[in-house]
Amino acid sequence: MQAIILFAILFILLFLMFRGAADIERMFTDYSLRFSNEISGYKAKAARLYSIEAGGEDSFWPTFWREDQSKAECSTGNASCTAITFSGEGALVWETDFLKGSMPGVTDKVGCALSLELALSLFGSIDIIGMKVDINDETKIVRGVFEGTQKVALLSVGEEDRIVSWQVAELSEGPEDANKSMAESYSIASGLGRPSAVIEGESIVLFASRACFIAVIILTIFIIVLFLKRIPRLHRGIVVFAACIVAALILPSILRLLPGWTIPDLWSDFSHWESLSKQFENGLRDLLGKAPYLRDVEGKLLLLKQGVLLSSSTLCSVIICLIYGRSSNGKHNA
């Protein structure tokens, strides 16, 4: 009964971790450029022209956004809210599930999307597609209502708008072997300037997703050790050799799941592993050290939750191994 309870707890923890990893993947883009000085609309336009003319097919493509505290008003009420204005792909700015409608498109200059909490505060309903709401002294048309306990409005201004200034640029597309240095180089070459920080979402997502397997790896190693103990010493070498052959065959498939920059040219290159660990560390430091936007707060909460689940699942798997290890030793001694 004790084993069933422990495995049930571990299964629930792993389920929550995999779901959390999916949420983190949706929350973080590959490269989020933060600037100490706001980007003018003309610089944003120039950066897009650079992507088309100088960058080529493998160039990054920027989506710009800013966050302001504002007031939303309509014929049925008003409410304070966080207004996130964007130009480009709205999903890169705020990835979420829509209850009604959808995110305003890249050419939509008057569309907006409201969180569930804001929609209920203003209209008392989510059946509000096509309704008008005044935010930031502009009249917007509701295109969608998305999940959310915060009062948030997502405002599209269209890619060609040059009036609004921006605080953040999210980079999509780009070369297959893209890295943080390339993102910084693009920012400088395109005229956006040197960013004050680059939040490398790819490394954060990689850490969050691979952490889900730590508890499984611990249990797998433990099972292999128990299995080898039950095999006569004469045949253990053959089994280990066969296991190494199988591991070598499946290793290329596993490596293809990883970004190219995580794989060294030589596995004995210890400087690569040191550089890789610093890259993960710097990515987390950039995220945790910057003055947070609302999206960053949501991301930090997801990472904190994932860390708690990781600690709990690892502890649970270790307890299972200790219990079964003692039980196995007891039977062996008997």
Residue 40 lies in a domain: yes
User: How far apart are alpha carbons 22 and 223 in whole angstroms?
Assistant: 28
In this predicted structure, the answer to whether residue 293 has a pLDDT above a threshold of 90 is no
In a domain, 186, yes or no: no
How far is residue 223's CA from residue 231's CA, in Å, rounded to a whole number?
Answer: 13
Assess whether 149 and 209 both reside in one domain. Answer: no
164, containing H or E segment: none
Is residue 294 located within the same domain as residue 265? yes
Of 90-94, 142-146, 197-201, 258-262, the range with the highest mean pLDDT is 142-146
Residues 67 and 6 in one domain: no
The string of pLDDT tens digits covering residues 252-284 is 666 565 655 556 666 566 665 566 666 666 666
Exposed/middle/buried for 26, CB within 10 Å: 0-12, 13-18, 19+? middle
Among 126-130, 169-173, 248-252, which stretch is predicted with the lowest mean pLDDT?
A: 248-252
Between CA 203 and CA 187 the distance in angstroms is 19
Q: What angle do CA 178, 190, 44 make, to 5 degrees?
A: 110
Please give the pLDDT value at position 126: 93
Per residue in 26-35, pLDDT tens? 888 888 999 9
Domain boundary among 138, 158, 177: 177
Q: What are phi and psi of 142, to 5 degrees?
A: -70, 120
Q: How many other CB atoms are found less than 10 A from the CB of residue 207?
A: 17
327 and 262 co-located in one domain: yes
Report residue 297 as tokens. 């707060």
Percent of the chain with pLDDT over 70: 82
Task: Please say which residue of 177, 195, 224 terminates a domain.
Answer: 177
- What is the rounded distance in angstroms from the CA atom of residue 47 to the CA atom of residue 307? 37
Same domain for 220 and 171, yes or no, is no
Whether residue 200 is contained in a domain is answered as no
The pairing of strands 111-115 and 138-146 is parallel
Shared domain for 125 and 223, answered yes or no, is no
- SS (HEC) of 73-142: EECCEEEEEEEEEEECCHHHHCCCCEEEECCCCCCCCCEEEEEHHHHHHHHCCCCCCCCEEEECCEEEEE
Q: Is residue 183 part of a domain?
A: no
150 and 209: one domain? no
Task: For residue 192, tell me if it sits in a domain.
Answer: no
The residue type of 189 is A
Domain boundary, last residue among 177, 195, 228: 177
Does residue 132 sit in the same domain as residue 225? no
At 289 the pLDDT is 56
Average pLDDT over residues 241-253: 73
In terms of domains, do 11 and 37 share one? Answer: no
- Same-domain check for residues 224 and 152: no
Q: What is the pLDDT of residue 148?
A: 87
Amino acid at 132: K
Residue 191 belongs to some domain of the structure: no
Residue 234: its pLDDT value, please? 64
CA distance 55 to 191: 13
**Domain containing 305: what range?**
2-24+205-333
CA–CA dist 298, 310 (Å, integer): 18
Question: For residues 274 and 123, what is the distance between their CA atoms, to the nearest angstrom?
Answer: 54
Does residue 169 sit in the same domain as residue 267? no
66 SS3 class = strand
* Residue closest to 280 by CA, chosen among 174, 170, 180: 180
pLDDT at 309: 92
Count of structural domains within the chain:
2
Count how many residues are written for the chain: 334
Same domain, 258 and 160: no
Q: Which residues of 218-241 are buried (b: 16+ CB within 10 A; e: fewer)?
A: bbeebeeeeeeeeeeeeeeeeeee
Within a domain: 274: yes
Report whether pLDDT(145) > 70: yes
What is the rounded distance in angstroms from the CA atom of residue 100 to the CA atom of residue 181? 39
Taking alpha carbons only, the member of 145, 127, 124, 126 closest to residue 78 is: 124
User: 64: which strand partners?
Assistant: 87, 169
Domain-located, residue 194? no
Model confidence over 39-60: pLDDT tens digits?
A: 998 999 999 999 988 767 778 9
pLDDT given for residue 297 in this prediction: 83
Distance CA 298, CA 311 (A): 20
Say how far apart CA 155 and CA 138 lie, in whole Å: 10
